[in-house]
Amino acid sequence: MKIFIDTAKLSEIREAISWGIVDGITTNPSLIRKAVEEEKRDMSLEEYVAEILKVAGKDRPVSLEVMSVKAEDMIREAEVLHKKFNDIADNVVIKIPVNTYAGYYEGLKAIKKLSEEGIRVNCTLVMTPEQALLAAKAGAKYVSPFAGRIDDYLRDKKLNMRRGTDYQKGDYYPWEGRNVDDNGIVSGVDLVSTIVDIFVNYNFDTEIIASSMRNARQVREVALTGVDIATIPFKVLEDMLLHPKTEEGVKKFSEDAKKAGYEDLFH
Ligand code: E4P
């Protein structure tokens, strides 16, 4: 499974790349906003985005999202972003929502057109297997099912729970023994797994990015589905690394190393 980092913060991107585990980067307008508010110092937004692409380098695709909702506007924005930034490291991918509002089919139109132009598209805000199937047919290079947000949806709508009061964003879901579903999909991991099962039947070039990852266990479970990619926030990467027994072991080993006079070995 490839790992993308789901952030626009340069500090997190640099740190995770230094661990040797990053195959790509995904951003969205909310992540860009957070990075700008917390990190951007004396750079313009354009310089900041250019820096992300440079730090990522040629072999790590970076997803940048459009902001409009009409196909012609999304296509124009995607072309501008691609033209402006792709020469830096040939790694620009454009995020297009699978659909923008009921009754209009702007997402698929934009995906089709951009894919025909050779611009790689990451179809975002995928909440059902059917959307993923249509996006792949329209030519998306990636589809991004939002596992965490489907878990939110099930908890909020089906269980009448309130985020921040009854459960926290990072809580693992589903709970044992609870049986709610969204048209047969019982959790975010189930959404990813169902899309993987569907795509195995066909020769789509489209890769699946398990997105909206909220905790380490969810990453483990999407890895078990054989999904191509998981895009993971920095906090969840930390979560994947930490275990109290690892920390305790390191502490004990370094104490014993000192007591055994280990330093001598390194001169
Ligand atoms: C990545 O492509 C998505 O934009 C991101 O994973 C969404 O995560 P969130 O649901 O935690 O905001």
pLDDT value at position 265?
95
**pTM of the predicted structure, to 2 decimals:** 0.94
Please name the residue ranges forming H helices in 57-166: 71-89, 106-116, 129-138, 147-153
Identified catalytic residue from 9, 58, 83, 95 = 95
> What ligand 1 atom has the least distance to the C-alpha of 28?
4
> What ligand 1 atom has the least distance to the C-alpha of 63?
2
Ligand 1: residues with CB < 6 A are 6, 26, 28, 124, 144, 146, 148-149, 211-212, 231
- Are the CB atoms for 227 and 199 separated by under 8 Å? no
pLDDT value at position 115?
98
10-residue averages of pLDDT along the chain (267 residues): 98 98 98 91 91 97 97 98 98 96 90 98 98 98 98 88 87 75 92 97 95 98 98 98 97 97 94
The rounded Å distance from CA 245 to ligand 1 centre is 30
- Which CATH homologous superfamily contains domain 2-266? Aldolase class I (3.20.20.70)
pLDDT value at position 175?
72
Give, rounded to a whole angstrom, the gap between the first and last alpha carbons of the chain. Answer: 40
Phi and psi at 56, nearest 5°, equal -65, -45
pLDDT value at position 162?
84
Bridge partners, 57 (sequence order): none
Helix axes 106-116, 129-138, angle to 10 degrees: 30
Taking CA atoms only, the protein residue closest to ligand 1 atom 5 is: 212
pLDDT value at position 176?
65
Q: Which residues contact residue 87 at a Cβ distance below 8 angstroms, ignoring those fewer than 6 apart? A: none
Q: Examine the residue annotation and report whether 95 is marked as an active-site residue of this protein.
A: yes
The rounded Å distance from CA 251 to ligand 1 centre is 36
pLDDT value at position 58?
96
pLDDT value at position 165?
87
The span from the CA of 145 to the CA of 150, in Å, is 9
Taking CA atoms only, the protein residue closest to ligand 1 atom 7 is: 212
The span from the CA of 88 to the CA of 92, in Å, is 9
